Structures are given as structure tokens and as C-alpha cells.
């Protein structure tokens, strides 16, 4: 694989630079931008009062000092929680030294709204793309996508801009084909990514759900079935692999010609690709 090909692979910061800062915090995303990530990945969930927040799990128990489902809590409830000290404590147990960077007050502990993340990207000073994964409890079926598109429109990100052939600054990802159909129906020019933990029989030949042009296989699929990437490529799809943290997995992805590597360690991957 040539150096030129390595440098074409997009490096996407998974939940921000989440190996170095608490996932989905402003500090993690700011660090990813500083490290040179090409794009930022985030998960979005809808609060009880209609705000999109960047939280992966259905419940806040793992990543905060609170308890309960995101969909049952209001933004003010989430704002009162600490979403970062668990990571700081974890780092303290594994290293006697602190991180080599400092977050501003609250950036590594406060819940992050998608609106605030969009503001950060807007002010980044260089092009940074967004890969937004929809999370959608049944009680909010369809509302997550609706609110997402309203917010993207407010920032002028609901359709590709720039010269023909330029990539869209935003793509929407989901494990749910139904969620992607909703996005395509309302915003047909927005790229969509079908995420996969395993390859179902209907997709083994490289086909994806109707209208989807980007495959998002997990790295376990790529390790176990490297030929699947070629099938996806032959079908005309891009391939964005998650979550790629180990050097040998980066090498595997490069060798297979994937289009994007989604990683908790964007700085390390960029260095491995000769871009650090």
C-alpha cells in the first residue's frame, strides 16, 4: 500500500479522542481536532425535553455519577451530572503522570449537546467532518432523526455544499436501516452509513440497505472476513471500519483499502499512517 493511499484514509475520532479524554466530552473532541482528526464521530440521544445529547449508552450509569435512561431525563438533570471523573480516576490508576494537555473548566465533565459540538466544529479553523450515529429508544421513534435534521439545517449542514465531488461535511450512521430510511426520505443528499456488528445473510454479497452507500463493519468482521471488504468495494460502497485501535488492525485496514478508520486513538493512527 503506497504512502499516498495511506494518506487518503480518513481518520475519525470515535467519541472524540476518547482514549485520552472522557468520551463524548467537549475536551475529547477538542483534543481530536488538535490532534488532526479528519472527522469526529458521536452518538446522539434525545432527552425527555427534546435536546440531542452526545451519549452512547441508553442509561447514564456507566459514564456519569448518575443513574437512569437518557430519554427519561431532562437536559438540566444531565447537566448536574459528572461525565468525566470516571475517566480521570481510571487514568490515575494506570499512570503516575497526568495528561500532557489541559481541558478548560467543565470541558471534561459536562454533558455535551450536539448543538455545542456543531459550534466547536464550526469554529475549528479547518474543515472537520462529522459522523453522527443515531440512537433511538422506541419511545422516541422518528423524533431523533427529525430533531437531528432540524439542527443540521440550522447550521447549514443538511445538504452537501461546495464544489461538485466535494465530500459532505456530515454523514449519518446507524445500526438501524429504518433510521437511515428516515434520514434519506427527509434529506436524500445526506450520506448514510449502515453499521454492522455481524454480516447478515442478506448482506453477505456486499449489498447494503436501499440508498445506503457506505458500509460500517466492526473491526471483528474485518479480521474474521477480510474478503468482505472486497465484496463491499465491488458493489461500489465505501468502507468505514470501527473501532480500530491496535496497530495491527490499522495495518489490516490499510492493506484492504478501507476508506475510513474510526478510532479512539486518532493521534496514534495518524502517526502510523505517516501523517503525525
pLDDT, tens digit (0-9, with 9 covering 90-100), for 97-138: 334 445 565 899 999 999 999 999 999 999 999 999 999 777
Q: What are phi and psi of 7, to 5 degrees?
A: -75, -10
DSSP strands (E only) in 141-185: 170-174
Active-site annotation holds for 56: yes
Element (H, E) at 270: helix 266-272
Structure confidence at residue 24 (pLDDT): 98
Contact 31, 108 (CB under 8 A): no
Residue 128 near residue 38 (C-beta atoms within 8 A): yes
| pTM for the whole structure | 0.92
Greatest Cα pair distance, the chain, in angstroms, is 52
For the record, the C-alpha cell of 264 comes out as 479512539
Query: In this predicted structure, what is the pLDDT of residue 103?
Result: 56
pLDDT for 141 equals 80
The H or E element spanning position 126 is none
| DSSP states of 182-238 | HHHHH-TTS-EEEEESS--GGGTTS--STT--EEEEBHHHHHH-THHHHHHHHTT-E
Residue 51 annotated among the catalytic residues of the structure:
no
Q: With CA atoms as reference, report the closest residue to 12 among 262, 270, 219.
A: 262
**Which pLDDT value is given to residue 25?**
98
- Residue 84's contacts (CB-CB under 8 Å, 6 or more residues apart) are 21, 22, 25, 27, 108, 109, 110
At 11 the three-state DSSP class reads strand
| DSSP conformation letters of 76-112 | HHHHTS-SSHHHHHHHHHH-SS--SS-PPTTTTTS--
Find, among 200, 22, 39, 195, the residue nearest to 110 by Cα: 22
Pairing of strands 52-53, 39-46: antiparallel
Question: Which is the CATH superfamily of the domain at 3-58+113-272?
Answer: Phosphatidylinositol (PI) phosphodiesterase (3.20.20.190)
Residue-level pLDDT at 93: 39
Write down the pLDDT at residue 99.
42
Return the H-helix or E-strand segment holding 131: strand 129-134
The pLDDT value given to residue 37: 98
Q: Which residues of the chain fall below pLDDT 70?
A: 1-7, 88-105, 161-166
**Cell numbers 475529547: residue:** 28
Give the pLDDT of residue 139. Answer: 73
Identified catalytic residue from 24, 51, 56, 240:
56
- Confirm if 160 and 189 have CB atoms less than 8 A apart: yes
- Which residue in 42, 187, 55, 184 sits closest to 118, CA to CA? 42
Residue bearing cell 470541558? 107
Q: Which of 14, 24, 51, 136 is catalytic?
A: 14
CA gap 276, 266 in Å, rounded: 10
pLDDT given for residue 158 in this prediction: 84
Amino acid at each position: 500500500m503506497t504512502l499516498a493511499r495511506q494518506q487518503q484514509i480518513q481518520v475519525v475520532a470515535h467519541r472524540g479522542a476518547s482514549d485520552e479524554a472522557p468520551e463524548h466530552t467537549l475536551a475529547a473532541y477538542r483534543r481530536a481536532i488538535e490532534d488532526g482528526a479528519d472527522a469526529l464521530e458521536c452518538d446522539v440521544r434525545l432527552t425527555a425535553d427534546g435536546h440531542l445529547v452526545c451519549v452512547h449508552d441508553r442509561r447514564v450509569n456507566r459514564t456519569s455519577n448518575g443513574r437512569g435512561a437518557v430519554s427519561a431525563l431532562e437536559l438540566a438533570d444531565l447537566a448536574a451530572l459528572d461525565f468525566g471523573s470516571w475517566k480521570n480516576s481510571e487514568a490515575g490508576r494506570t499512570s503516575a503522570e497526568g495528561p500532557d494537555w489541559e481541558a478548560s473548566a467543565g470541558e471534561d465533565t459536562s454533558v455535551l449537546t450536539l448543538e455545542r459540538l456543531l459550534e466547536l466544529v464550526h469554529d475549528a479553523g479547518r474543515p472537520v467532518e462529522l459522523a453522527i450515529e443515531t440512537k433511538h429508544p422506541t419511545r422516541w421513534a422518528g423524533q431523533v432523526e427529525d430533531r437531528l435534521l432540524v439542527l443540521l439545517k440550522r447550521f447549514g449542514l443538511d445538504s452537501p455544499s461546495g464544489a461538485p465531488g466535494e465530500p459532505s461535511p456530515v454523514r449519518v450512521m446507524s445500526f438501524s436501516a429504518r433510521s437511515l430510511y428516515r434520514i434519506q426520505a427527509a434529506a436524500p443528499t445526506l450520506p448514510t452509513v449502515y453499521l454492522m456488528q455481524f454480516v447478515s445473510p442478506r448482506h453477505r454479497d456486499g449489498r447494503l440497505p436501499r440508498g445506503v452507500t457506505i458500509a460500517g463493519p466492526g473491526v471483528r468482521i474485518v479480521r474474521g472476513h477480510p474478503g468482505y471488504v472486497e465484496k463491499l468495494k465491488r458493489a461500489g460502497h465505501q468502507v468505514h471500519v470501527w473501532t480500530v485501535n491496535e496497530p495491527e488492525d490499522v495495518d489490516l485496514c490499510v492493506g484492504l483499502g478501507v476508506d475510513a478508520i474510526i478510532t479512539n486513538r486518532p493521534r496514534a493512527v495518524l502517526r502510523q499512517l505517516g501523517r503525525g
